[in-house]
Amino acid sequence: MEVSYAARLYWGGAEPLVKIFLDTANIDEIREAASWGVLDGVTTNPTLVAKTGRKWGEVIQDIVALVDGPVSLEVTTTKADEMIKQGRQLAKLHKNVVVKIQMGSEGLKAIKALSKEGIRINTTLIFSANQAILAAKAGAKYVSPFIGRLDDQGQEGMQVVREIVQIFENYDFDCELLVASIRHPLHVIEAAKLGADIVTVPFDVLKKMTQHSLTDVGLQRFLEDWKKVPQ
């Protein structure tokens, strides 16, 4: 492959580690996460770019220059022919660009056309296993179930992840499960336990994954004990 991802490393013959994407357009957050050696890719959308207050083109140039992995960029239309046109333009920006297309009948038409041209597609706004099946059959490289939004509606988001994992294991789809709308570190743990290929997380969730109260207590104790050692 053209890109080497940290998540593809093996440990003692085990399966590849879950890949971690950052769901942001904030360059400072991406730079910090990349410095930890755990960042495998980035997902963005118009809302995230708007939050930066910067021009779209400048933000995207900075992201693709910094991230050594897939960068999902979303189309901004709901018509298939326009999605196809935008998708081609986005794919030309950089070899790591993945075109993000919304689920729906028009989206499926665009996925079919663009995937046949070798353009990788991330199907967004997935809320059921049925939608994931259709996106994979149409040629999507990634399907993104939004588990947090399902939880908000009183449904169990992880149940959709569970169903998609089982279905994909039954068939030879060249499609990865990218769990999105993650709200807290427990979502990451559950997705990884179920066998999701990728989780895309906000920076605050990624930061919380590094933290534990006992780690803080242990570090403070080490520092205090070090002060007692004769120098």
Q: Annotated catalytic sites, by residue?
A: 100
Count CA atoms closer than 13 A to 159's CA, side-chain side: 7
Distances (CA, A) of 95 to 92, 152, 178: 7, 36, 20
Tell me the C-alpha distance between 127 and 39, whole Å: 25
State the Cα angle at 46 between 43 and 52, rounded to 5°: 90
Count CA atoms closer than 13 A to 53's CA, side-chain side: 0
The residues facing 177 across adjacent strands are 143
Backbone angles phi, psi at 55, to 5 degrees: -70, 140
The residues facing 22 across adjacent strands are 42, 201
Decide: residue 19, CB within 10 A, 0-12 exposed, 13-18 middle, 19+ buried: buried
Tell me the C-alpha distance between 186 and 221, whole Å: 28
